[in-house]
Structure 1
Amino acid sequence: MRRPFEMFHETLGALKRIDRQLAMLLIIESSRSKRLAETKKGANAPFDSDDVAGTPCGGM
């Protein structure tokens, strides 16, 4: 059987790992929400059909 200190050490390691994973998830969600906000902001901009008229679907 493992000693209590070893179990405590493993628990701390697991909690640190979970903390890092949650931090990464928050960073990812934050950047995703910023992109979504920018997209919505751009979606409300006036559309000028002259900018895209005559250009093929690939851009250039």
Structure 2
Amino acid sequence: MDSCDFYKTMKKAIIAAIAVEKLIKFSKEIDDISKGIEEIEKSFKITTSKKAWGKNFKFF
């Protein structure tokens, strides 16, 4: 293995490591967003009841 092959291999390894790091950060951000959505859903269900909207109200 000459120095050029070693350089290319190291460059690919560094790029792969950076990609894995970005995927981990992205995964954590998705988890944070999903937790936020769950909190919003919980608060929405608590503050709105069927009695407050009436029997004929439909969300969708």
Question: For the superposition of Structure 1 and Structure 2, which TM-score range results when normalised by the shorter chain?
Answer: 0.5 to 0.7
Q: 1:4 pairs with 3, 6, 13, which one? A: 6
Moved more, 24-33 or 39-48: 39-48
Unaligned runs of 5+ in 1: none
1:12-55 Cα offsets, whole Å, 9 max, x none, are 01011111211221221111110001111222226251513234
d(CA) in 1 for partners of 2:56, 2:11 = 66
Q: Structure 1 runs of 4+ off > 3 angstroms?
A: none
- Specify every segment of 5 or more residues in structure 2 that has no aligned partner in the other structure, as ranges: none
Residue type of the partner of 1:10?
K
Aligned pairs for 1:9-48 (under 5 A) are 9-45=11-47, 47-48=49-50
**Higher helix share goes to which structure?**
2
Q: Percent identity?
A: 7
For residue 52 of structure 1, the aligned residue among 48, 51, 54 is 54
After TM superposition, the structure 1 stretch with the greater mean CA deviation from structure 2, 2-11 or 39-48, is 39-48
Output the TM-score relative to the length of structure 1: 0.68
Aligned length: 58
